[in-house]
Amino acid sequence: MVKAHIGILAGLILTLLGATSARAQQIQTNPGSACQASGSAQDLYYSGVNVANRTDGQASAICPVARRNGTQGWSAIAVFVRDRHSTQDITCVAQAKDLTGVAGSGWSETKSSSGEGEQVIVFGPAVGAPPYGPYAISCSIPTMEEAGVPSYISSYVVVEP
């Protein structure tokens, strides 16, 4: 039942953001397991399509986005997460860097989940994103509060014009 509601919500969000407009759109759905642990600690747990934090500390994941149209920014990004921590949220940063990938170049936006449960973190268009630069989504996943009940990223969807 909950999964059906998430699917309906995702369709509605993408519709509201213009993903079903008359012009052609490129929609890429990626599993959470495509995300990689950030930094030197490779401490994320991969299970099927999910990537989870099963540790006693905050962990970060970098989710790459393969661009199909290098001259335009994305129309929308939706990150599907399950937040299982009572006081900490999953925070994601959508980034569009210039070709050099230098810190501070390009565009970024930060958004967070709100409370516990299955949620969708949605980013609108990357206005002013540099042409041909790399895209990525970086998410901070909270510590595992209860044994065997981690927070995780299940998938992310990128809509390009």
Instruction: For 67-90, write each residue's pLDDT tens digit.
Output: 887 888 889 999 999 999 999 999
Which has more pLDDT, 2 or 146?
146
| Per-residue confidence (pLDDT) for residue 29, from 0 to 100 | 95
pLDDT, tens only, 11-70: 545 544 454 444 568 899 999 999 999 876 678 999 999 999 998 889 999 999 988 878
Long-range contacts from 13-22, C-beta under 8 angstroms, 24+ separation = 13/76, 13/78, 13/120, 13/122, 14/76, 14/78, 14/157, 14/159, 17/75, 17/76, 17/122, 17/124, 17/125, 17/159, 18/75, 18/76, 18/159, 19/75, 19/76, 19/159
pTM score, whole prediction: 0.83
Domains in the chain with CATH codes: 2-160 (2.60.120.260)
